[in-house]
Amino acid sequence: MVCEMCGNAESRYIGEVEGSKVTLCEKCRGLAENVTEIPQEYPKKKKENRQISENNILQNERGEYVQMIVPGFHCIVKNAREKTGLKQKEFAQKIGEKESLVHKIESGQYKPSIPLARKLERALQIHLVETVELKRQSTQNPLLDGEEETFTLGHFIKKRT
């Protein structure tokens, strides 16, 4: 966790500063009241190659990627289904979904989840999911000290001495 007062990456305490609970490092804990130590959790084992989270973010050694449904997915699905000669009801039965869901996807009223999009890709032999690299933008600000990238509460409050 990050100290909300100075931005230090190793905060181990929670305390109250002017009525608000904040995370604090060893150096800043003297500035707060009702300070308690944050219980340390056991480190979780991380998969080496990649992880897929609920947000469809892929992580590997080189960076972070996100899976997204391509723009215009509804037209792609509708055109591909029509090429197969299947009606919406027949196609829905083929993929094990409701006809109303197929209708909503084709009309653009419903954006399919990644697993559903993968199912549609297999059934229609189309491409609906693309993987995009997340690029971290630098937030260098002349008001910030040195190498810090974000503002912390310490930039805005007056320290009592």
DSSP assignment of 124-161: HT---EEEEE--PPP---TTS-TT--S--GGGTSPPP-
Q: Is the pLDDT of residue 89 over 90?
A: yes
Task: Classify 113 as helix, strand or coil.
Answer: coil
**β-strands 13-17, 129-133 pairing:** unpaired
Q: Is the pLDDT of residue 142 over 80?
A: no
**β-strands 63-69, 13-17 pairing:** unpaired
What is the tens place of the pLDDT at every residue in 3-42? Answer: 887 877 777 888 888 888 888 888 888 888 888 887 765 4
| Percent of the chain whose pLDDT exceeds 70 | 68
Higher pLDDT, 63 or 129: 129
Task: Tell me the mean pLDDT in the region 99-104.
Answer: 95
Q: Is the pLDDT of residue 92 over 60?
A: yes
What's the angle, vertex CA 78, arms to CA 72 and CA 82, rounded to 5? 150
Domains of the chain: 51-133 (1.10.260.40)
The whole-chain average pLDDT of the chain stands at 78
Question: Is pTM, for the whole model, over 0.85?
Answer: no
> pLDDT at position 21, please?
83
62 HSE (CA, 13 A, CB side):
4
Residues facing residue 35 across a β-bridge = none
